Amino acid sequence: MAEIIEFVLGVPSIKGTVIEKRIELFFTEEGQIYKPRKGGVLKQLQLFSSKQMEAGFSDCRESLDIFGYLGPKTGVETLPLFESTYP
């Protein structure tokens, strides 16, 4: 990997640089340069009013139907979050 970085940067060596340390850290089990966030689905839902959720759903309803998330084919007439039904 160091050789590739040296070639890309056009330098004879990266020994003793921060880049070399990052490469070593990346390839060790204990090191991790990027830590993915621990996301979740709808964790912030309580921050939206029912009026805001309904507006968002009505804006997305056509796309949800086009991509097969709503309608007779799926047996789902509405998303559980919303009280609206499929027209």
pLDDT given at position 65: 75
**pLDDT single digits (tens) 16-28:** 999 998 888 877 7
* Predicted local confidence at residue 15, as pLDDT: 93
Per-residue pLDDT of the chain (87 residues; tens, 9 = 90+): 889 999 999 999 999 999 998 888 877 766 666 777 777 766 777 788 888 888 887 888 788 778 877 666 655 555 555 444 444
Domain boundaries, the chain: 1-36, 41-87
Name every residue whose Cβ is closer than 8 Å to that of residue 19 and which is 6 or more positions away in sequence: 5
